[in-house]
A and B are shown apart, each in its own frame.
Chain A
Amino acid sequence: MQRTVLYERHVESGARFGPFAGYEMPIQYEGVLAEHRAVRERAGMFDVSHMGEIRVRGPRALPFLQRLTPNDVGALRPLRAQYSALLTERGTFIDDLLVYCFDPEDYLLVVNAASRDRDLELLQRAATAEGDGVRVDDQSDETALIAVQGPRAVEIVTEVVGAEAAELRYYSFLHQDGSQRMVSRTGYTGEDGFEIYTAPERAEGLWAELLERGRDAGLSPAGLGARDTLRLEAGMMLCGQDIDEETTPIEAGLSWIVKWKKGDFVGRDALARQRETGCRRRLVGFEVEGRGIARHGHRLTVRDAPDYAGPVTSGAFAPTLGRAIGIARLDCSGGAPPAPGSAASVTVRGREIDCRIVKLPFYRRPREGA
C-alpha cells in the first residue's frame, strides 16, 4: 500500500485512514459531517496526491490528444483546463480526466489513481504508433496535489501563493516556475476553490503553511469521506463507480464533453450511433423521501414505469440537504429518461423506500449577487 508524502501530517492531524486505489488515504479527521460543512461554509483542504499526472509533449501533441479524447483540445487555450475522458472504441469510459494546456505542444493530463497505469499504457502505446511527434511521461510520483475548496479558499490561497490566484477564472491556471508550482481554479466539491500541484519535497511545507494561514478563515483538513459527499451533492460522477467501461458520456449526461465538429476521435462512431438510436441506460439523480439511505448496489425502480430500473451507483446522506441522495443507472430500453419529479422507490434491507427522480446537480453553490 502506497502513502502520499503528506502521510505524517495526516497522522498528526488525527486522520483515520482507509485504502483507496492502492493508497492509504485519509478518510476523515474530525468527522465527515464537520469536514463537509467546513467546505460548504468556510474552507477545507484535501490531500489528493494519489491522482495521476501524465505529461504529453511534442509537435504532434495536439492532434494526438484530439484523437484520444472526445472534448475539443484545439479550443483549449494556454493556461486553461478542460474536463474530458479516455474512451473505448465503444464510446465508454476508461477514465475521466482534466487536460491542462501549457501550449499546443505541451499538455498535462490529470487522471484517476485507480486507472493511472492503464491510461499510461494506452497513451504510451498510442504515442509509439505516432512516432517521434509525441512523448508521454508519467509525472505522478514527482507531483503532490493539494485541493483547497470552499467560499473562503480564495483568501487563503492568495495569501500563500500570491494575489494573482484571485484573478484566475474557473478552469484556468497559473504556473509558478520558481516554486515548481501550478495553481488551478478547479475542484471536485461544487464550491469555489483551487488545486495546487507541487513537487513532493515542497508539499509538507505548503500543507503546513496553508493550514497556518487558513486558521482564521476556518480551514480544516478534509478526507476522502467528505470529498465523496461533496462531489455527489454537486452531481459529479465518480469514475469506476458511476461511470465505467459500460457507460458512455451520453448516458451519463456528459454529452457536452463530446465535440462532433472536431473530427475523428476514439469512440466517435459508437457515440454517433447512440445519438441516433437513443440510450439503453441513463444515469439519473434521485432523492430519498422516505426514511433510510440508498447505497451503492441497491436497486431503484420508477413507479409508473417498472421497466425503468437499475442499480444505485452512488448513494449517501447529503449533509447540506439533510436527506439521502443518489445516482442510479436506469435501464431505459432506448426511451427517454424519466422526467424529474417521477416517483421511484429503492429497496433497502427488504423495505421499499419512496424516492423521487431529480435533476442533477443536487446542490448548486449560491453565487454572489445572485
Chain B
Amino acid sequence: MIPDDRLYTAQHEWLKVEDGEAVLGITDFAQQELGDVVFVELPAPGQEFAAGSEVGAIESVKAVAEIYTPVAGSIEAVNEGLEDAPELVNEDPYGEGWLVRLRLDEEDTRDDLMTAAAYEAQLAG
C-alpha cells in the first residue's frame, strides 16, 4: 500500500524526487493519526528552506502537525487546492493531497530518507 516510487522520513512524510525537484506530502499513516484535516498552512512560492526546517503546518480538528522539509530548496509551487479542500490530505495523501513542490539546492542531503520497504518496517516495528 505504501508507494515505492518515493522516499520517506521517520516523521511520516514522503518525498518524490524528479529532475531536481521534490514533491512533499504526508503518509497515509500520518493523515490517519491526525484525523480530519481542516486547514493547511503553506509557505509562499519562492521562499527558501534549509533541510529539516518547518515549511508549514497541518491542522486537524483536534491537533496540529508541523511540516518539515527533509531537503533544502526553494518553494516552486504549493498545492492551492488544499485551501478549499484540506480534506484531500485525508482522502488522497499520496496524490491530490500533496503539499509543496521544492526546487532542490543539492541532491546529496537525502541520506536519512527511507525506502518504502524501510518505512513499512518502521511502521510495523
Interface residues of A (CB under 8 A from B): 27-28, 31-34, 36, 225, 228-229, 291-293, 295, 316-317, 319, 324, 349
Contact = CB atoms under 8 A, between A and B. Distances in A.
A225 B35 contact: yes
B48 interface: no
B105 interface: no
Contact of B64 (A34, A228, A291, A293): A293
Contacts of B57: 349
Contact of A32 (B36, B39, B41): B36
B41 A229 contact: no
A33 B61 contact: yes
Interface string B10-44: 00000000000000000000000001101101000
Contacts of A228: 62
Interface string B33-76: 00110110100000000000000010111101000000000000
Task: Classify chain B's interface size.
Answer: 10 to 19
Nearest to B41: A292
B61 A32 contact: yes
Question: 6 smallest A-B Cβ distances: which pairs?
Answer: A317-B38, A32-B61, A33-B36, A293-B59, A31-B36, A225-B62
Nearest to A291: B39
A66 B55 CA distance: 56
B41 A291 contact: yes
A229 B62 CA distance: 9
Interface of B is mostly: strand
A143 to B, nearest CB: 28
Contacts of A32: 35-36, 60-62
A28 B38 contact: no
Nearest to B36: A33
Main secondary structure of the interface of A (DSSP, over half): mixed
A324 B64 CA distance: 13
Contacts of B39: 291-293, 317, 324
Q: Which residue of B36, B41, B61, B64 has the most chain A CB atoms within 10 A of its CB atom?
A: B61
Given A32-B62, A36-B61, A225-B35, 6 more contacts: A27-B62, A32-B60, A229-B61, A292-B59, A293-B39, A295-B64
12 contacts: A28-B35, A31-B35, A32-B36, A32-B61, A33-B61, A34-B36, A36-B61, A293-B59, A317-B38, A317-B39, A324-B39, A349-B57
A292 B59 CA distance: 8
Contacts of A349: 41, 57
A295 B35 CA distance: 16
Nearest to B66: A349
A317 B61 contact: yes
Contacts of B38: 33, 293, 317
Contacts of B61: 32-33, 36, 225, 229, 316-317, 319
A40 to B, nearest CB: 14
Contacts of A291: 39, 41
A293 B57 CA distance: 11
Contact of B59 (A28, A225, A317, A319): A317
A316 B41 contact: no
Nearest to A293: B59
A206 B41 CA distance: 44
Nearest to A229: B61
Nearest to A288: B39
Nearest to B54: A349
A317 B41 CA distance: 14
A317 B87 CA distance: 13
Contacts of B35: 28, 31-32, 225
A22 to B, nearest CB: 20
Contacts of A33: 36, 38, 61
